[in-house]
Amino acid sequence: MSGSELEVDGHAIALTNLDRVLYPEAGTRKYDVISYYLAIADAMLPHLASRPVTRKRWPSGTEGAPFFEKTLPAGSPPWIPRFTIAHAADDKVYPVAQNAAVLVWFAQMAALELHVPQWRIDLSDDDGDRHTDRLVLDLDPGPDVPLTQCGQVALTIRDVLTDTGMASYPVTSGGKGIHVYARLPAPVRADSARAVAKEIASALEQAYPADVTASMTKAARPGKVFIDWSQNSAAKTTLGPYSLRGLARPWAAAPRAWSELSDPDLTQLLYPEVLERYSESGDLLAGLSGPRPSPSDGVVDLGAYRRHRRVSKTSPPRPAPASPPDAEPKTESAGTVVSLRPMLAVDEAIDGLDPQEWAFEGKWDGYRILASVHDGRLRLQSRSGIDMTGDFPELAGLSDVLAGRDAVLDGEVVALDPAGRTDFTLLAGRRRRRAEHTVKLYLFDVLAIDGDHLEGAPWEQRRAVLEDLAPWFDDVPFVEIPALLDGPGQRAVDEARRNGWEGVVAKRRSSPYRHGSRSPDWRKQKNWSDVEVVIGGFRLGREGARTLGSVLVGLPEETGLRYIGRVGTGWTHAQAADLLAELKPLEISLCPFLGGVDAPVASSATWVLPKLVADVQFMDWTSTGHLRHPSWRGLRRDKLPGDL
């Protein structure tokens, strides 16, 4: 892959040296960096927008010498947005990342790190009076200080900011420490934000002198976390959220949930992990950006920061430990407490499991859905965080059924054929095909009800609560709580096979609900082989451009998409036409598969942006790692490539 051209946001970008390894220790190529910035663009751009970007480039890879680049080099594409800043010697023209095309161009130039100031162009005036709508505190651990100590300091900063009414957001920096961002109540001058940040850092230094320093002097940092407040200055920049780091391995600045910062195994994240988390949970920094008020000198109450100087001079307070599985459920609002990420099962045989310890459920051939009703409003969310409320109008009445109650329920949306069997093909194709079917929501867990937060309760207790809700659904045709299967495991597997179900899920009766985790406390065993794949290309049929012949599919790996074969059966003529129409707008000129594909296949292939996930059934694997006798089942509109 010596060179190619990629069209992004209507701009053709020449790509060269795509096989150049920029991270030798990890084998990460320029192609992978480009793919990452393209995939994370929707999350990253709001946090870089309206800010001039300083780039740190590694043209020879991270084992070579880097350099900072502020101004746009000669010959830069004319479509790149830019902003001129007056300096003492001359004016400098900076690029501005307003779209994904700019990020791809940065990556092509081996600009791994993207640094921005906290002030925004659109909030500032022509006289260089810079205004910002956020502040940042950079927690830099001193020698031999673990990341977990930074996490504890970050949690303390969160409490300080909460006292003043400011929402805050943690980002593991991809380097040594943590960035804590806060959204200001109104835009302020950069020097005012710097003063606020310094006041916070100084207050914490006085409250916790053994753990925290606000001093720029390096001699003050051993054993402590340095809170760098200076990065709010108009002249300073900070590594942007989601940016890569130019280190030995491709770590990235990763937004985190506050609950993660108390984890004793807290670590920095590699970019594939960041992509996977984004596909599952969306942008955890979404609240940091949004519609903005007009510039002002917004007032921030520094009294709240000063009050922290009067607390006892001990180590930063640590959060309370998580409740054990048999703890009483928390009584908080279901609309704000429950993090909508489903618990997942591991692929592991269940036929020998004891029914005294395990419960057995059918595995349904549908879309995993978390259904929440709060203040009379229904929201259906896929395991990837996709809002699918509008996709299933048949379920809209769920909010009426639960009128007056708040709830978060876990289940599966399925399509039943006339014989009452779940059929994923009917579900995936129901938008375009009028085959007879019935859409239902199968419920199998309850995470919150009327303010009671149940995730820490054992499965057995949650199941009892769910069954207490069953009378509410007695006369509701679109909701069902399927009965459990009799154990032991082999008996449950046999029953699922007789009924033609997809398989069985076994759940440990004592297991709590672990949001977003794939836990061995839940195990699944399928009755046939199927696989979820990513489409990376297609070939036309014998009739030329009018028909789809096959799609080329792969599985995501840490360094890219691995080709596993072609799928060209299992769809109707109408389904193939619809799929071709959906693939056409995704055409790209670059093969997205690692190492390419066989020349005879590649010669007639059209490559597409690998963003569509599909479900494929197959007999087994060939000796070369390809699918044997694959058959199309349908698109997985509830999933993103990062989910696989």
SS3 for 151-216 is HHHHHHHHHHHHHCCCCEEEEECCCCCEEEEEEEEEEEEHHHHHHHHHHHHHHHHHHCCCCEECCC
Tell me, yes or no, if 363 is annotated catalytic: yes
**Cα(383)–Cα(369) distance, integer angstroms:** 7
SS3 for 332-357 is CCHHHHCCCCCCEEEECCCCCCCCCC
**Cα(359)–Cα(466) distance, integer angstroms:** 15
* CA dist list (Å): 370 to 373, 425, 448: 10, 21, 11
Question: Mapping DSSP to helix (H, G, I), strand (E, B) and coil, where does residue 103 land?
Answer: helix
**Cα(56)–Cα(335) distance, integer angstroms:** 42
Torsion sign over Cα 71, 77, 80, 84: positive
**Cα(571)–Cα(535) distance, integer angstroms:** 15
Closest CA relative to residue 612, chosen from 579, 643, 635: 635
Pairing of strands 344-347, 518-526: parallel
Give the chain's radius of gyration (CA, Å).
27
Neighbours of 409 (CB within 10 A): 23
**Cα(461)–Cα(148) distance, integer angstroms:** 34
In the block, which residue shows the tokens 């596909």?
Answer: 279
**Cα(453)–Cα(126) distance, integer angstroms:** 51
In the block, which residue shows the tokens 């419920």?
Answer: 443
Active-site entry in 224, 363, 507, 524? 363
Provide the b/e sequence for 210-249 (b: ≥16 CB within 10 Å).
ebbbbeeeeeebeebbbbbbebbbbebbbbbbbbbbbbee
Closest CA relative to residue 608, chosen from 642, 631, 585, 578: 585
List residues with catalytic annotation. 363
